[in-house]
Amino acid sequence: MTVLLLVALAAATLTLGYCIYGRWLASRLFQLDPTATMPSAALQDDRDFVPTPPAIVFGHHFTSIAGTGPIVGPALAIMWGWGPALVWVLLGSILIGGMHDMAVLVVSLRNRGMTIGEIAGRLLNPRVRLLFLVLLLFALWVVLAIFGWVIASVFVQFPEAILPVFLQIPIAVAIGLRVHRQGKNLLGPSLAALAAMYATVWLGAGCPGTSWTGGPLGQLIQGINGTVAGWPIWLWVAILLAYCYVASVLPVWILLQPRDYINSLQLISSLGLIVVGLLVTATVGPATIATGTPAPALEMFAPLLELHPKNAPPVVPFLFVTIACGAVSGFHCLVSSGTSSKQLRCETDARAVGYGSMLLEAFLAVIVIVAVGAGIGLGWPQEYPGQTGTELWQTLYADWRGVTGGKAIAAFVVGSGNLLESLGIDAVMARALVGVLVASFAGTTLDTATRLQRYVVQELAGTLLGKLQGRTAAGRSTNPLALPLTWLTTPHGATLFAVGTAFLLALLPAPGKDWSVANLGTGGLILWPLFGATNQLLAGLSLLVISFYLRRRGLPTFVATLPMVLMLVMPAWALCINISRWIDGGSLALVAVAVVMLAVEAWMAVEGMLLWGRVQGVMEEPLPPLLVRCQDIAHDQA
């Protein structure tokens, strides 16, 4: 019952945070206006700027920000004890993460859907904008390279997730076409899509629970799963990035929006099933594990507090870097200002989309803590036969160096599957449900990150192109760089650059691995140790931008400045510790990039401090008037 009480108290805390602090931010600080003109209407182009129902934007936003971050982070950080992990998730999401996400979304809405990098240039200065864009380019480059590997790893460990993930694509396109072009109500298509997606999970698992499992159809599906799961990692990365290219250049309503929306339906319903499984497991008792050995009673087998796990870095500052998504994450500012702000059709929806999505992600992180800290102790007979309870947990988490991202994901899948089995769900189906949840989260983050990288590349290319000198009388630049930069300002050129450079990084073998076909596709792991700190630095720098937005308007700044200090100090501290370790280990490439990241942070912080005293109550330059579109003129004349 202790586990159940923890989840209930966490849910109540998050709900109170939304009703009290979230409401104050929306109504008192930012004073959201339901009559304000939205960028989706003012700049509607049916590609990126598309007025969209709030439920669909919520689904897109939630699935994009979540990814595997709120799964891997808490599943690793629990080595310091479930107490610190839970406290940081709850306080971080309510006081920092939710405010950060909603604030960036609101400021982007009030700046015509500009990305956080462009907004930094308006609120601070052009140098900060350029530095911000370079930081975003690096962070998204690593995300694209690593998430292809993450999804491929999930497919290899849980091949029953492959078919459902790819069948989501035609279902999403059908929903997108029906809702956008025919203006149909969302309820019917949503229920149909949800039923179809669960059917694909059952089909991908080999039709468990029926006589078909051992028949021709079940054997065919299992054979296909086994074959494609054995494909090399680099091939999976290539397939996934090719899909991301298509998703990025298509109008947002055809694939990105509907896929994220129907994914959110499946993911939220799956989370609901896990919570019900937790309730049944805690009150009625767990199911007997597959070996026939009775499972132990549900309790937190992970320690409440463990300050010195074997070979683990210090809990401070690394807790604040390890758990990012689920508490606060810099990547969220890219989604808020990159895609969601271009789709909202009412400003007051920013509270539910920005703040609400963050708190739902925090609840996912709570479920991960419980699934790994308690659910995994119910047994993992496939990998650790005969071990349960504290013994199994200590075997899994004996050494920090042995707990990788893939192992943490597997622990969540198995722990959650154990809870689902208490509902009478077949073991294979239970693991398939959670495996699809993880792969879908990662997939939505991957395709959204590609679109965001496209925006960043276009902005950078446009900036550099504008600085080229030596134009002819015809207006064309004589600089040889003008042509490729012009190409990079187009959606197709920028997207090809995004996926191409990510694939080149991914093709490299992981650190310590030799050049072989089996190791190709793991290159994202080379720079992955930098991502946690870089991501949190990005959150701190986003809060710097929000602080300037509030200060220029004479509004209270403490809601952003206090979290900003925390999110600049902790990642920088963690990077400094890692730099010392990487020097000792000879990882000079990581040292060089880390030093550059720290220099960028310091530069932007100095720029902010020099400007801070001069902007109190001084508004930034107004945006230029929008050009009147041809279709608007034709409409007025008619």
**Mean pLDDT, range 70-82, rounded to an integer:** 94
Domains held by the chain: number: 1
Confidence of residue 619 (pLDDT cuts 50, 70, 90): very high
Residue 279: predicted pLDDT:
93
Residue 154: predicted pLDDT:
80
3-class DSSP assignment, residue 84? helix
Q: Residue type at 92? A: G
State the greatest distance between any 2 C-alpha atoms of the chain, in Å, as a whole number. 84
Partners of 477 in the β-ladder: 471
Whether the CB-CB separation of 356 and 124 falls below 8 Å is answered with no
More confident residue, 157 or 310: 310
Confidence of residue 524 (pLDDT cuts 50, 70, 90): confident
Residue 151's CATH number: 1.20.1740.10
Residue 85 has pLDDT above 80, yes or no: yes
E-assigned strand segments in 54-151 = none
Residue 466: predicted pLDDT:
77
In a domain? residue 20:
yes
Among 20-24, 445-449, 519-523, the range scoring the smallest mean pLDDT is 519-523
Residue 470 has pLDDT above 60, yes or no: no
As separate numbers, helices (DSSP H) first and strands (DSSP E) second, the chain gives 27, 0
When mean pLDDT is compared over 17-26, 186-195, 425-434, 590-599, the highest value belongs to 17-26
- CA–CA separation, 497 vs 504, rounded Å? 10
Residue 631: predicted pLDDT:
45
In a domain? residue 472:
no
Closest CA to 129 of 143, 106, 144, 111: 111
E-assigned strand segments in 182-312 = none
**Mean pLDDT, range 240-244, rounded to an integer:** 93
- CA–CA separation, 71 vs 63, rounded Å? 13
List, for residues 411-439, the tens digit of each pLDDT value: 998 999 999 999 988 888 888 888 888 88
**Mean pLDDT, range 434-457, rounded to an integer:** 88
**Mean pLDDT, range 601-628, rounded to an integer:** 90
| Residue 344 per-residue DSSP state | B
Domain that holds residue 316: 2-467+479-637
Residue 183: predicted pLDDT:
63
| Residue 52 per-residue DSSP state | B
Distance of CA 500 to the CA centre of its chain: 21
The torsion of the CA quartet 15, 20, 23, 24, rounded to 10 degrees, works out to -150
pTM of the predicted model, to two decimals? Answer: 0.91
State phi, psi for 111 to the nearest 5 degrees: -130, 40
Report the 3 state secondary structure along 221-273. Answer: HHHHHHHHHCCCHHHHHHHHHHHHHHHHHCCCCCCHHHHHHHHHHHHHHHHHH
Whether the CB-CB separation of 339 and 64 falls below 8 Å is answered with yes
| Residue 38 per-residue DSSP state | P
Contacts of 333 (CB under 8 A, 6+ apart): 100, 101, 104, 116, 538, 539, 542
Residue 358 has pLDDT above 80, yes or no: yes
In a domain? residue 474:
no
- CA–CA separation, 95 vs 21, rounded Å? 8
Closest CA to 134 of 378, 403, 453: 453
Confidence of residue 482 (pLDDT cuts 50, 70, 90): confident
- CA–CA separation, 161 vs 409, rounded Å? 14
More confident residue, 576 or 527: 576
Whether the CB-CB separation of 141 and 505 falls below 8 Å is answered with yes
List, for residues 535-565, the tens digit of each pLDDT value: 999 999 999 999 999 999 999 999 999 999 9
| CA dihedral sign, ordered 301, 307, 308, 311 | positive
Confidence of residue 469 (pLDDT cuts 50, 70, 90): low
In a domain? residue 456:
yes
**Mean pLDDT, range 370-387, rounded to an integer:** 90
The H or E element spanning position 550 is: helix 524-552
Residue 634: predicted pLDDT:
39
- CA–CA separation, 629 vs 343, rounded Å? 19
Whether the CB-CB separation of 111 and 119 falls below 8 Å is answered with yes
Residue 496 has pLDDT above 60, yes or no: yes
Residue 629: predicted pLDDT:
46
Residue 177 has pLDDT above 90, yes or no: no
Whether the CB-CB separation of 552 and 620 falls below 8 Å is answered with yes
In a domain? residue 473:
no
Question: Which two structure tokens, joined as six digits, stand for 384?
Answer: 């650790």
- CA–CA separation, 437 vs 449, rounded Å? 18
- Residue 585 burial (C-beta neighbours within 10 Å; 0-12, 13-18, 19+): exposed
Average pLDDT, the chain: 88
Residue 473 has pLDDT above 50, yes or no: no
**Mean pLDDT, range 472-494, rounded to an integer:** 75
Question: Which two structure tokens, joined as six digits, stand for 309?
Answer: 């796990």
Residue 363: predicted pLDDT:
97
Burial call 330-346: b when 16+ CB within 10 Å, e when fewer: bbbbbbbbbbbbbbbbb
Cis peptide before 232 (omega within 30 of 0): no
- CA–CA separation, 16 vs 14, rounded Å? 5
In a domain? residue 437:
yes
Residue 615: predicted pLDDT:
95
**Mean pLDDT, range 588-603, rounded to an integer:** 90
**Mean pLDDT, range 176-194, rounded to an integer:** 75
List, for residues 308-322, the tens digit of each pLDDT value: 999 999 999 999 999
Contacts of 302 (CB under 8 A, 6+ apart): 78, 81, 82, 372, 373, 374, 393, 397
Closest CA to 432 of 200, 195, 166, 152: 200
In a domain? residue 199:
yes
**Could you give the percent of the chain with pLDDT greater than 90?**
53
- Residue 372 burial (C-beta neighbours within 10 Å; 0-12, 13-18, 19+): buried
3-class DSSP assignment, residue 294? coil
- CA–CA separation, 498 vs 492, rounded Å? 10
List, for residues 193-219, the tens digit of each pLDDT value: 889 888 988 888 888 767 666 677 778
Polymer length in residues for the chain = 638
Closest CA to 173 of 246, 258, 242, 248: 258
